[in-house]
Structure 1
Amino acid sequence: MSKVLELAKELGAEVIQTHTSWVLLLKDVVYKIKKPVNFGFLDYSTLEKRKEMCYKEVELNRRLCPWVYIGVVPISEVKGKWVIENDENVVEYAVKMRRIPDEAILSNRLDKTTEEDLKKVAKVVADFHVRAKRVDEFGKMEVMKYNTDENFAQTEKYIGITISKEDYDFIKRKTNEFYEKHADIFEKRIKEGRIRDGHGDIRTEHVAFLEEGVCIFDCIEFNDRFRYGDVLNDMCFLSMELEYFGREYLARAYEEEYRRISKDPDFDLMLPFFKCYRAYVRGKVNSFLLDDPNLTQEEKEKAKERATKFFKLARTYAEMIK
């Protein structure tokens, strides 16, 4: 950690920490250094693994954001100090990116974003899904049910805290009824080639409007399982978030344009199911923060509010599941 801070100071960079990375922000570029952590679903524990994941992050993100991902650069230790873009004594690697202006990112410009803007995003996402690699085995109903079963098991402890017993039982029942009623749809969608290597995290803070066009960045590189799946499950993360932020009109424009381009015959049936899943996952992730000893009480209260709101949204979608 001290070496990272020393490097940031040398570069005159602002440092932002996530639980998996140190991000060094300069005026025009960003360096992202992975932390030596292992969470089971994510393993950056060795230098070789961090190097591999840096290259994978660049390769995968260039699919939807070719103008931003410059490449992977080495960090060497020279005379006791870290020196970036130096390969004489490599001790770490970083993803080098062009810095995206804050005002270009969708989450920062919701008030000025138009329906036409979201139609452009939908076109980019739909075109990407057609090109993306098929991963048929991840479309099996058993795979999806494993994910939803895991969600319900992991959130049971938050009943009465971030989700009511009634909502928990209702969402769980509607989800499992959907599997019973529509098992054939999952097989049908596999045959139609609708299971692809997607982005995995298309959210408002990962969409930017640049001079070159729409850029969707920061896809999930650390675990293929979280990126592979039904194209509707991939696309609807963004419309769910737009509705969470009260921008239903933008969500509609995005969904309708995607529907028009994809001509997906199961769109109306599958969309509420997948949006319920996405909202529930966000409720779960925010609930987990309540157990983080590194957060202040104020941060935990905010996480609790977000989790409760996401679970309520999941309940709304569950009511639409047929």
Structure 2
Amino acid sequence: MIRFFTAAALGLLFLTSQADAGERVRLGYGRLINNDFIGDTQDRWRTGSIASSRIYGSGWDGALPDRFGDLLEFRINGEIIAPDNLVNPAAGDRPFAGSLSFGMHTHYQHSKTEISMGLDMVMTGPMTGLGDFQSALHDGLGIEEASDTALAGQIGNGVYPTFVMELGREYALGRAAFRPFLETRIGVETMLRAGADITIGQIGGGELLVRDPASGQRYRTMQKSPAGYSFVVGADIAHVTDSAYLPASRGYALTDSRQRVRAGMHWLGENSSGFYGLTWLGEEFEGQGEGQVVGSIRLNLNF
């Protein structure tokens, strides 16, 4: 099954890259930083990540195109996953993992259903350099670094083609919008996820929003909204069948389900804009004991 979806995604991306490539221009850019230090102030598990998207197409009229491949997103994600204690990891705690991915996705709609699909090439292990990056950052900030023991037990080098697809549909509720969605991921982690988001306010309307894989928060890739505020809440639940970050070969058992509950606020002023959100992440493996809260932030400050 994994081989089938990987082959399909590779074919999808090849065809997409060939279609009208010369007519595309850059339409937008988005990013989101997640860290548990700006959430529950801890330094553990899904401790830090960054998502970045660049959008290309022939134009944008406030709605997704109805043709596959017309709108492209080039996506870069980096994530550091760590045990609860970086210095003396407890037996059975999750291993340190660095993850870096590069992908291409297309966004379009069919019969009012919004479709996002594409392929990420996910790299793990010391070759990503993320373990060294975190150590240097912690050293500069005077924070405890990951010990040699923690880094020696990290997830090893690997490359995982990962197919991602999300189906969503938005329903207007006065000034609010309700958007249920289904998502599947097959690759570095294999899962099926279902959830919904509610947005109250106009910011983000008529724009392309992209879902951050770690928190589930949706970040803006365009600046087409009037000044003001939007408040967002959302939740989802996933059934995960396989995870390269929690390998069964090391004795890890995945939880029966993986939950996320999130809230946040977009604001847009005359010269600046931003987003801040909080996401509760439920337990991901047997023995984790409790969930965690990560914060998400994006700032655009123009002086």
Same fold (TM over 0.5): no
Higher helix share: 1
Q: TM-score, normalised by structure 2?
A: 0.23
Higher strand share: 2
Between structure 1 and structure 2, the one with the greater Rg is 1
